[in-house]
C-alpha cells in the first residue's frame, strides 16, 4: 500500500478546507496534504454566478444527499445538495455573504464556545474579507475573500427595500456592519463577475507552493488511530488504496454531513451506534452527528404587472446572449447571483434580534431552477432563522460508500409553526405596501385564499424547502459537556492529533447563510492549529433593537 508522510492532512477542499490549506501552507517548513473527492471547479457553470442552480443539481459536483422521510412535512424527503468539487459548497451555493448577527456569536460563548464571542470572531471576519468599497471597523479590505454589492439596476430590488421601510422596518446600509436588522442591499461573494469561492480566493493562489499537495477524486475511508492518537487517513482513488500519515494533525473539513459520518466510521461517536455496525470504539462521544440544524424557507411569489422581471431572460436565446456576454466581458446578468436586496426582521415581540431572513429575487422560480412560473413575477425567499427542532446524521452501515441517514426533524416543535405563520403574514404585509403598487399582480403563492392557520400550515407542509444550511453536528463546547465534540480550539475531545473545522462545529446555527461564518471559523482555527497568537479582540458597538420586549418592529 502506498504511504506518504505529511505534517497536516486536511480532509475536504470546501469552504473551510481551502482556507486551512492556504493558511497552514504559509509556513514553508511544513508539508500539507488536501484530500478532496470532487474534481476541478473550472467549469463555466460554476464560475458564472447566474448559473448557480445548475451545478447545484449535477451529480458531478453534488454528493446527492437527501433526508429520511420528514414526519413534520408529511413524509417528504428533502433535497440536500453538498459540494463535491474544489471549493465544496462555496462552488455550488448562492454566493450570499451573511456573517450572522453579532448576538449569534455571543450566544456561542454562552453555549460553551469560549473565545468565540462577537468581539473574538470579528477580527477573523475582517482578516478574511476584501470588500469592494473598502473596509471599516466591521468590514475587511485586505483579505482573500472578495465581497461586493449588486448593482440593483432592476427597480424591483429598490421597491423591496422601500416596502420594508413603508411597513415600519429600519433600512440598513450594511447588515454585515453596525446594524444587522432591517432591509437593504445584499452582499455577494462575486469578484470581477466571477463566483469567488474559497477555491478561487484561497486554494488556487496557494497551489503553486511546493509544500502543498491537493489530491482530487480522493475518497477517504477513515481516519487512522494508534490508540487514541490520530496518525493519518486511509483513502482511495479508482480502486487503489493509499495511506497518508500526519506527523502533526489530521483536520476534518468535510462538512456537517460527511464530517460526523467519517468520525463515526473511524470509531468516534455514540458507542451503541458504532457497535451496532461493528465499529471498534476509539472514543465514546454521544454528540457526534446529533444537534443537526438547518434553515427552512418558502418562496412568496407575486405576479408582476410590468414585464421587467428575469422571466424575459429565461428563453434559450436570451440565456445564450447572457452567457456570451459573460464569457466576453464578465458583466451583465451573468455576473450576479440576482439576490441583490434582502431583509432581516423580528417575528414577534419578545424576540431580542432578527429571526426572519428575506432574499428578494426579481423572478418567480424555485431555488433549483426547475419550478419556473409561467409569467412575469417576483418573490421573496423567507424563513425563520432559529428553529428549536434538532435532527441527526447516523450511519447506514460500516461501508464508507453508503450514504448516511440524515433526519432534520423539521417542524417538530410548536414554535416552528408559529414562526412560519408569521413569515406568511408579515411578508404579505410587506408586498402590500405602496412601493409595489405599480408592479403587484395576483399572489401566485401561497395564494390570497391562504389565510387561516390551517391553510398556512398545509401550504408550509407541502411547499417549504431547505435553504441548504446543515450545521452543528459536531458542536463546539467545553470538555466536560458530554454532548460537545470539539473544544474551543477545534480539537476533538477524547483523542489527540485530530480536529474538526467546518460548519459542523457551530454550537448553534447563525442568522443567515453559512458560508461567511464557516470561512471565519477556518481563519480562526488556522491560528489555533499553528499555535499563533490570536488576533486581538475587537470591541465595537452594534445596533440592538431597543423595543424588542414590547414590539415586533
Active-site residue list: 469
Cα(38)–Cα(245) distance, integer angstroms: 21
Q: Is residue 222 within 8 Å of residue 262, measured between CB atoms?
A: yes
Classified as helix, coil or strand, 530 is: helix
Helical segments of 240-315, H only: 255-265, 271-276
C-alpha grid cell for residue 9? 492532512
**All three cell numbers of 243:** 495511506
Query: Quick one: residue 196, left, alpha or beta (phi over 0 = left, psi -120 to 50 = alpha)?
Result: beta
Spatial contact of 172 and 182, defined as CB atoms under 8 Å apart: yes
Query: DSSP string covering 83-108, please?
Result: B-BTTGGGGTS--B-----HHHHHHH
Give the dihedral sign, CA 81/78/517/292: negative
Give the sign of the dihedral formed by CA 86, CA 333, CA 309, CA 181: positive
Alpha-carbon Rg for the chain in angstroms: 23
Contact yes or no for 384/330 (Cβ under 8 A):
no
Contacts of 503 (CB under 8 A, 6+ apart): 15, 16, 255, 256, 469, 470, 471, 472, 514, 517, 518, 521
Q: Which residues contact residue 396 at a Cβ distance below 8 angstroms, ignoring those fewer than 6 apart?
A: 402, 403, 404, 405
Instruction: Tell me, letter by letter, the H, E, C secondary structure of 200-242.
Output: HHHHHHHCCCCCEEEECCCEEEEEEEECCEEEEEEEEECCEEE
Ramachandran region, residue 497 (left: φ > 0; alpha: ψ -120 to 50; beta: rest): left
Q: Are 420 and 460 in contact (CB under 8 A)?
A: yes
Q: What is the DSSP string of 329-379?
A: HS-GGGG--S--EEEEE-SSTT--S--EEEEEESS---TTS----SS-EEE
Q: How big is the CA angle at 16 (ends 173 and 100), to the nearest 5 degrees?
A: 30
Instruction: Identify the bridge partners of residue 151 per DSSP, sorted by sequence position.
Output: none
Q: How crowded is residue 29: how many other Cβ atoms within 10 Å of its Cβ?
A: 6
Amino acid at each position: 500500500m502506498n504511504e506518504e508522510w505529511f505534517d497536516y492532512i486536511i480532509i475536504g477542499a470546501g469552504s473551510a478546507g481551502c482556507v486551512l490549506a492556504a493558511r497552514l501552507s504559509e509556513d514553508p517548513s511544513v508539508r500539507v496534504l488536501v484530500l478532496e473527492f470532487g474534481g476541478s471547479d473550472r467549469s463555466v457553470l460554476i464560475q458564472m454566478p447566474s448559473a448557480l442552480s445548475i451545478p447545484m443539481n449535477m451529480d458531478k459536483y453534488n454528493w446527492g444527499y437527501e433526508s429520511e422521510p420528514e414526519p413534520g412535512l408529511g413524509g417528504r424527503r428533502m433535497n440536500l445538495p453538498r459540494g463535491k468539487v474544489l471549493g465544496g459548497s462555496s462552488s455550488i451555493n448562492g454566493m450570499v455573504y451573511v456573517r450572522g448577527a453579532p448576538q449569534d456569536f455571543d450566544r456561542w460563548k454562552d453555549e460553551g464556545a469560549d473565545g468565540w464571542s462577537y468581539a473574538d470572531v470579528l477580527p477573523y471576519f475582517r482578516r478574511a474579507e476584501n470588500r469592494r468599497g473598502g473596509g471599516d471597523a466591521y468590514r475587511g479590505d485586505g483579505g482573500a475573500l472578495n465581497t461586493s454589492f449588486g448593482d440593483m439596476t432592476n427597480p424591483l430590488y429598490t421597491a423591496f427595500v422601500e416596502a420594508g421601510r413603508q411597513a415600519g422596518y429600519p433600512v440598513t446600509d450594511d447588515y454585515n456592519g453596525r446594524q444587522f436588522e432591517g432591509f437593504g442591499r445584499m452582499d455577494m461573494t462575486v469578484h470581477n463577475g466571477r463566483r469567488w469561492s474559497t477555491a478561487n480566493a484561497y486554494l488556487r493562489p496557494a497551489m503553486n507552493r511546493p509544500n502543498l499537495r491537493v489530491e482530487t477524486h480522493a475518497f477517504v475511508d477513515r481516519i487512522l488511530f494508534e490508540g487514541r492518537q490520530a496518525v493519518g487517513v486511509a483513502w482511495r482513488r479508482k480502486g487503489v488504496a493509499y495511506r497518508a500519515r500526519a506527523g502533526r494533525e489530521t483536520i476534518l473539513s468535510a462538512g456537517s454531513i460527511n464530517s460526523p459520518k467519517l468520525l463515526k466510521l473511524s470509531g468516534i461517536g455514540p458507542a451503541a451506534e458504532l457497535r451496532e455496525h461493528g465499529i471498534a470504539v476509539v472514543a465514546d462521544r454521544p454528540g457526534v452527528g446529533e444537534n443537526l440544524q438547518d434553515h427552512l424557507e418558502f418562496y412568496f411569489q407575486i405576479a408582476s404587472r410590468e414585464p421587467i422581471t428575469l422571466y424575459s431572460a429565461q428563453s434559450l436565446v436570451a440565456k445564450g446572449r447572457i452567457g456570451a456576454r459573460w464569457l466576453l466581458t464578465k458583466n451583465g446578468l451573468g455576473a450576479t447571483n440576482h439576490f441583490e436586496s434582502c431583509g432581516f426582521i423580528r417575528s414577534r415581540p419578545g424576540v431580542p434580534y432578527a429571526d426572519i431572513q428575506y432574499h428578494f429575487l426579481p423572478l418567480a422560480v424555485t431555488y433549483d431552477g426547475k419550478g419556473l412560473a409561467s409569467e412575469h413575477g417576483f418573490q421573496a425567499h423567507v424563513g425563520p432563522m432559529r428553529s428549536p427542532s434538532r435532527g441527526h446524521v447516523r450511519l447506514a452501515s460500516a461501508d464508507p460508500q453508503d450514504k448516511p441517514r440524515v433526519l432534520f426533524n423539521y417542524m417538530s416543535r410548536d414554535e416552528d409553526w408559529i414562526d412560519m405563520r408569521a413569515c406568511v403574514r408579515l411578508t404579505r404585509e410587506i408586498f402590500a405596501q405602496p412601493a409595489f403598487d405599480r408592479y403587484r399582480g395576483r399572489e401566485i403563492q401561497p395564494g390570497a385564499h391562504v389565510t387561516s392557520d390551517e391553510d398556512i400550515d398545509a401550504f408550509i407542509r407541502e411547499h417549504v424547502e431547505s435553504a441548504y444550511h446543515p450545521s452543528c453536528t459536531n458542536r463546539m463546547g467545553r470538555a466536560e459537556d458530554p454532548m460537545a465534540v470539539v473544544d474551543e480550539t477545534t480539537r476533538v475531545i477524547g483523542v489527540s492529533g485530530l480536529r474538526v473545522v467546518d460548519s459542523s462545529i457551530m454550537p448553534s446555527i447563525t442568522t443567515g447563510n453559512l458560508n461567511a461564518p464557516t470561512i471565519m471559523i477556518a481563519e480562526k482555527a488556522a491560528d489555533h492549529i499553528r499555535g499563533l497568537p490570536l488576533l486581538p479582540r475587537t470591541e465595537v458597538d452594534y445596533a440592538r433593537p431597543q423595543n424588542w420586549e414590547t414590539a415586533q418592529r
